[in-house]
Amino acid sequence: MSIHKEISDLIKADIITQETADKIFDYYKNKGSSSTNRLFIVFGILGAILVGLGIILILAHNWDELSTGTKTFFAFLPLLVGQVLCGYTLIKRQDSIAWRESGSAFLFFAVGASIALVSQIYNIPGGTGTFLLTWMLLCLPLVYLMHSSITSLLFIGGITYYATHLGYWSYPSTDPYLYWLLLLSVLPKYYNLYKNKPESNFMIFHNWLVPLSVIISLGTVAKRTEELMFIAYISLFGLLYLVGNIDFFTRQKSKNNGYKILGSLGTISLLLALSFDWFWEELRRKEFPFNDIITAPEFYASSITSLLAGVLLYLQQKNKAIMNIKPLAPMFLLFIAAFVLGLSSPIAVVLINFLVFAIGILTIKDGAKQDNLGILNFGLLVITALVICRFFDRDLSFVIRGLLFVSVGIGFFVANYWLLKKRKTNE
């Protein structure tokens, strides 16, 4: 039965007034319009990108047969078309999100294509890093001029590729320190989305892409004392987790909170990787001259991320009881203490295993307290992962390994059964 028939019956039965019925009709009308606009934006962006790529492929097929002048004309043609589209949008279609986003996406790729083609035609020297930097700098104004969220996402993706190309694939010839300035330059757009469209899909994409970009790019600062990057990364994951616990993010669906998910998984994965003794044995053999440490870029990265995470942890916990602290929140501080201890003592690996086990137990307790099966099973999975890691330790017999797996399996069954029974009793 249609909504119109239902509402008409409710009006005849004097259950709702005509005014209420009109509001209901307006609600569903706007809801349908919103879905249509969202699809129009998505298909507009995809269409613009596909058209741009199609033109490039057609030109590439016949490129060698064209004269230099013709090549130059076609090199600038996509750029001209993109500028006309954006100009028309600013003048006539400024309120249309679909026009703004699709036109900006087309122009973004047109700029890159034009730079590459002109460089190829006239043999202009320059590496991939220079090309990416020029491309991103030319497209940065698009983010703000066109109020384009898709260009912001493409820009973040581009500068991440720029950082990885220079920091990983061209190491040690160049340093991608400009990445951090480029990232800062696009954060005002991110903040604008937070203020004006906090529930939009573009905001959700930024919530994932921004922390992911930082995680990927942080490793590019490693040069001399790479071991300090473990502190930098554990503090970064702690910082992301704490950002994900800010009220704005906790009010959203869990799948939209990229900060908390990446921070949680990153912290646990790193601790599990370091729960083996091999890393700590290598760490104890290595020398760390004080003068080399305090001048190393890894030291600055570790200090900045640890300081930021520490300040945010203090701000979140200063008015709360210590019993209310989340299990993962202080782990970066405990890891730093274990790392310093691990420079001279083999007990550090025991502490790391204890930390992972404590995270699992406290998470299970938190899930039971909140009556949340997802959190409870996540804690059980952490303990399972720890058991699997210990399975590959040569110091443990197969009997002990088998008993550990049996214990975890029983724990899964008992914990879930107890929580489900508790729910049923409360109902």
Contact 293, 228 (CB under 8 A): yes
The predicted pLDDT at position 44 comes to 60
- Is residue 181 included in any domain, yes or no? no
The yes-or-no verdict on residue 170 having pLDDT over 90 is no
Query: How many beta carbons lie within 10 A of that of residue 181, not counting itself?
Result: 9
- Say how many C-beta atoms besides its own lie within 10 A of residue 351's C-beta: 19
**pLDDT for 217:** 94
Residue 339 lies in domain: 222-427
For residues 191-208, average pLDDT:
90
In this structure, of 225-234, 321-330, 338-347, the range with the lowest mean pLDDT score is 321-330
User: Is 319 inside any structural domain?
Assistant: yes
Is residue 123, in this structure, part of any structural domain at all? Answer: no
pLDDT score for 35: 44
Evaluate whether residue 299 is within a structural domain.
yes
pLDDT confidence bin for 5, thresholds 50/70/90: low
pLDDT class for 3, splitting at 50, 70, 90? low
Q: Tell me the per-residue pLDDT of 9-26, one tens digit each, with 9 for 90 and over.
A: 666 666 667 667 666 656
* Domain annotation covers residue 390: yes
Q: Which two tokens stand for residue 155?
A: 């820009």
Q: Looking at residue 26, what is its pLDDT?
A: 61
Highest-confidence segment of 56-60, 62-66, 251-255: 251-255
Instruction: Classify residue 291: in a domain, yes or no.
Output: yes
Residue 67 falls in which region: left (phi positive, over 0), alpha (psi -120 to 50) or beta: beta
Provide, rounded to the nearest whole percent, the portion of the chain with pLDDT above 90: 33
Residue 72, in any domain of the structure = no
332 has a pLDDT exceeding 90: yes
Tell me which H or E stretch contains 374.
helix 373-391
Q: 7 and 21 in contact (C-beta within 8 Å)? A: yes
Helices and strands (DSSP H and E) totals, the chain: 18, 0
Instruction: Quote the pLDDT of residue 335.
Output: 94
pLDDT at position 261 over 90 = yes
Average pLDDT taken over every residue of the chain: 82
Does residue 1 have a pLDDT over 50?
A: no
pLDDT at 322 over 80: no
Cα–Cα nearest to 178, from 212, 209, 217: 217
pLDDT band at 72 (very low <50, low <70, confident <90, very high): confident
Total number of domains constituting the chain: 1
Distance separating the N- and C-terminal Cα atoms of the chain:
33
Q: Is 144 a domain residue?
A: no
**How many percent of the chain have pLDDT more than 70?**
77
Q: Which long-range contacts (CB under 8 A, 24 or more apart) does 15-20 make?
A: none
Model pLDDT for residues 206-244, shown as the tens digit of each residue: 999 999 999 999 999 988 788 899 999 999 999 999 999
Q: Are 197 and 203 in contact (CB under 8 A)?
A: yes
Question: What pLDDT is recorded for position 419?
Answer: 63
Low-confidence winner among 79-83, 181-185, 280-284, 392-396 (lowest mean pLDDT) = 392-396
